[in-house]
Structure 1
């Protein structure tokens, strides 16, 4: 299968590798080598999440820092035709150990080939924590008696990239569970290694970010794409794309960018603001590897920043009309407004700016302004009222 993106870029470039493992054919009743691995469910949402990520990467390829030069993808897609994400690209090869070894190595060699290159890695499927490292299981799970727990050790991949002296930045994203599986934790298994063995004596550079959907011992969940929709994607993936699309933007020198270091801090707030139709399962993303510099991942365009406004005290919310204005008085025209009567927080968006804005609570001819600058997402803006 050819690369989904393969274009000439002068100078530093970003290389992307996407894995979606939704099918585990050897981990079913009557199949595979170990009885305790014969009840692993398929994950259509994992395959569809990888496809969604690919479409997003293709649509935003020119806005990456540096620009996206290549995109390779492997998707193990279960035969579940109903309620699926429509995708016309392909055919796509499955995420088997052999394919991951071969195509992963090609991706890794592209990444380290030239100074200044950046890496983008995304995966979705069943995962776990092993020796306190996040891992992703591949389609071959339970196929091989010698190495039934076929997986990628994402912590080792991050460490290998940190040891590279040519890679300028790396963003690794895993939408997978982080729970401990006793048989896997105490057993002997060999990870699928398509990258250089990390040299423990070589200096490490703090230019790598590894974000995971679930902390150690936690589960990751899928969620409806929109309220009432039959489409499901990983909750981490959907929240992440919301942030990368501009909701997590900050001002960088002369333009708006999304920094990898701040993205993790926004995810739980973004989930509450934009995906309140999801049920209440835990949403506990964590940063397994943290960069020291606020490296911009992407420079989004045509976006707005999230703004959450509350009265202080909060029980006065229904009493006040709320207005967003560039003036400190509630005279029209307004940028946005909401009528009195709603007891819930006002979740809205505003265009990014370094100018002064005001959130104003209005009641019976009185008004109470709060000054703010929409130069980053603002999830707690409290307007003091009597």
Structure 2
């Protein structure tokens, strides 16, 4: 099988699996315990925290470990909104955020917060000026993702961050789950106050996320019952997962430039192949991440295409894994102005380290075969 679903999850590095196994075997004590074994486990967490600070060039004490990217996003958004509601109850985000951000803002609306959802262009980009135009004296949080998890568009995070710091007291949160390890992320230089990441998107283990919090910021905790993670995230830490995640981040960061060049070349090859299949319509535009290609077959259910590709030994997806079972048209494509028919037929291809030009050629041929077989059935499968 050829695995083209790296946005959903990535195969862990062999070294990460080995690290996690070794830590599970040798450091099983609770890191909050006062005895030597607990202290040793706690030291591993702090060393892992230092790895994040080193890789992102931030202060050591600014990183929390969570149970995944979804939790990191929820903690950032709800934590800021509820902690600083006294300053104001206006929040800003975009219409194309990941569900863990988008639906969190929906919950906050139900609790009395006012949310501005910024539109995007037909290529899936938001303008920094739009953010500033939406800011009011009561705005406490702006949340904009770095790389869209569905179509791969890259938002102008640096420009937004710098403009916000000059003209607003609002905190700036960035969901960087799909960009870490693929694109440079300059947390402090870009004026980011909170940044979310997830280990299993960069060849680490599932069940571990991380959240950068700029010094001086306090969050309203989602979980209570312990003083772990500076009191912002109660619960016994996942020591093996945290250590393995730090290992994965270091390895992904060290190979990021080479990965970007390789995946960028493969992506350009795939875009050329898809452009030559008239039934398929490419979605998104530049700037975009090097590992994501998204297209639609208007009038065709995307799960039909995905299953036909699987029959040919290729694994792809329709949209984000968190929403893949949702039969509704893509919220992201609708926000870009696509018709419901176009938005309902999207397929995502996400590339990884193991892919080669030969794999891209095989994928392109599989797409041609699928389209030839589906063309006569278009109306019956809509």
Q: Which has the higher strand share?
A: 1
Structure of larger gyration radius: 1
Could you state the TM-score of these two structures normalised by the residue count of structure 2? Answer: 0.22
Q: Which has the higher helix share?
A: 2
Flag the structure with more relative contact order, 1 or 2, with Cα contacts below 8 A and sequence separation at least 6. Answer: 2
